[in-house]
Amino acid sequence: MQAYKIVYINQKGDKFSLLTTDPEMMVEYLPQEWVAPRAGYGPLLCFDSLENAKKFFGEVFDDRFKRWEIWECEIVKSEDKEVWNKERYELLRTLPRGTILADKVKLTRRVLLAGL
């Protein structure tokens, strides 16, 4: 299934999930490689359209996030209905519009970049 993923780019050029800076939860994304959530966490968040990904970024993030990209990706859709941690505690009460939860994500093509 095709979806869109927003990634944060660190100073070394590595790609990470935007939603956390907690090293225990952070997921590094590598183009053309399947990536899964860290053990004890899940699932990963993607968007159903480029428009919804851009809208989410614009509503939530500020000038601290100057280096980011949006990628087309292939996903394995999750059957989960919420994002959770080891204790099965729900981490996000409300999912952004157009969110797709995924058990695996593979970045396939960069479609938008900013601040690089």
Taking the mean position of all CA atoms in its chain, how far away is CA 4? 8
42-83 tens-digit pLDDT = 899 999 999 999 888 776 555 555 678 899 999 999 998 877
Take residue 61 and report the two structure tokens written for it. Answer: 């993030």
> Long-range contacts for 76-79 (Cβ within 8 Å, ≥24 apart)?
76/1, 76/102, 76/103, 76/104, 77/1, 77/101, 77/102, 77/103, 78/42, 78/43, 78/44, 78/102, 78/103
Which residue's structure tokens are 């993607």?
46
6-26 tens-digit pLDDT = 998 888 888 887 666 667 778
In which band, very low, low, confident or very high, does the pLDDT at 34 lie, cut at 50, 70 and 90?
Answer: very high
Sketch the domain layout of the chain as residue ranges: 2-114
pLDDT exceeds cutoff 70 at 2: yes
74-111 tens-digit pLDDT = 999 999 887 776 655 445 567 889 999 999 999 999 99
Question: What's the whole-number mean pLDDT along residues 32-36?
Answer: 97
CA 6/CA 113 separation, integer angstroms: 10
